[in-house]
Chains A and B, each alone.
Chain A
Amino acid sequence: MRLVVFLCLFISFGVLAQQALDVDDYIEADSLNKELAIKDKFKKEKAQQIFNDKKKRYSYPSFQDFWSFASEYWLVKNVKNLKWDQAADSSEIKKNFQNLLAELNIKNIKVKVFLFPTEWVPHLVLPRSKDEYVFLVSQKFVDITGISARQLSYLLYEDMIRLEKGYLFNFFQNDEFVKGLGSSFYINQKPNIGQFEKLMSKLNIFYKEHGYSFEEQYQVTKKICEQVSSQSQRVSQYQKYNSLVEKKLSQLNIVFPKFNALYPGIGMKRLWCK
């Protein structure tokens, strides 16, 4: 009797195993395996996508996104030094500058000019998104030199070329934070804000102490001279602007103690243009 029961059990297990095999066969026969594989792949891809999206949240900004944001951040943090919130009306300067750009066939440029009331720096340009520039000019600089809105447009154009040529970015090319732009900090879960703050301080150094090299000044002057060379009126206006700044150089160096270091070769500009 026991033997019969054992045999029955043995046979039924055998049948079940056979049935299990049959199900696999059926799955294979109906191409269900492929479907399962596709579903599995889809699941994995979705999981990867979720992970990537999460990881993306932990990334440093791209180069372009960063500089546009950093310019605004820097302005906000330096409002007490620059007092740009009390800037005077600069519509005439902007109009003259846009005329100059139009004459030089430079189109679709968005410009913002702040004529700020402090002596913290003489003038500077900040990077924004592509074809967008924020210029800051000290009212004191304008008062000392006595330059007109038309002459000021050359100063803005010089600053624009300085930015276009990447002189500001070159200053930061070995900066640790800049090197990490666009990368992920997912592993550490938090960004290195200390490095970011250091970069902001370096930006102050650049605008207040470092400025541009003699060679950079030469390149900027040369470019403008070449561009306006066919228009004698423009050449004389540019030379007039250079001469006004040159004449007031000693006074500018008193009010802005690093002026010579920031913009070297002022006395050479008219010669470079000849």
Chain B
Amino acid sequence: MKIMCLLLILVSSLAFAETHFVKEAFTHLFEFKSENASYSQTLSCGTPVEVIEKNIGWSMVSFNKSVGYVGTSSLVKNNPECFHEKYPVFYESLNIDSADLYYWGKLGGKL
């Protein structure tokens, strides 16, 4: 019964969700309201997410069927001008590996 109620709340929240965009270069989709929490995905700048609940500090969002938390300051209403889109060739030439992406996602949660 509880699960049903939670599901109903989640579904109704999604129905009223508003699309926002990630403005940081990268941020993780954290499982809890902490940049030290585990994460399901790494979102890059310009990624559209559905905001379920917006609060000071952290917002609950859904992306690609996953629900999690990102820093509220990482989100903007309008599609931002992202570095990797503005300077694609320069950006692609940089030496950014998976370990860097892991920390960059954490940094995005902290900024």
Contact = CB atoms under 8 A, between A and B. Distances in A.
Interface in B43-101: 73, 83, 86-90, 93-95, 100
B93 A191 contact: yes
Say what secondary structure dominates the interface of chain B: helix
B107 interface: yes
A60 B100 contact: no
B25 interface: yes
A190 B89 contact: yes
Nearest to B100: A76
A77 interface: yes
Contact of A190 (B25, B93, B100, B111): B93
A73 B95 CA distance: 10
A196 B94 CA distance: 9
A76 B93 contact: no
A179 interface: no
B110 interface: yes
B32 interface: no
Contact size class for A?
20 to 34
Contacts of B25: 69, 72
A136 to B, nearest CB: 11
B20 interface: no
A65 B107 contact: no
Contact of A65 (B87, B89, B94, B111): B87
Given A112-B110, A112-B111, A134-B111, A72 B90 contact: no
B30 interface: no
Contact of A60 (B35, B90, B104): B90
B16 interface: no
Contact of A191 (B35, B86, B89, B103): B89
A4 interface: no
Interface string A102-117: 0000000010101000
A193 interface: yes
A75 B96 CA distance: 13
B83 A57 contact: no
The residue in A72, A75, A193 that gathers the most chain B C-beta atoms within 10 A of its C-beta is A72
Interface of B: 25, 35, 73, 83, 86-90, 93-95, 100, 103-104, 106-107, 110-111
10 contacts: A58-B89, A60-B87, A68-B83, A69-B25, A72-B111, A73-B94, A76-B103, A87-B110, A185-B89, A197-B95
Closest 8 CB pairs of A and B: A79-B103, A191-B90, A69-B83, A76-B103, A61-B87, A76-B104, A76-B100, A58-B89
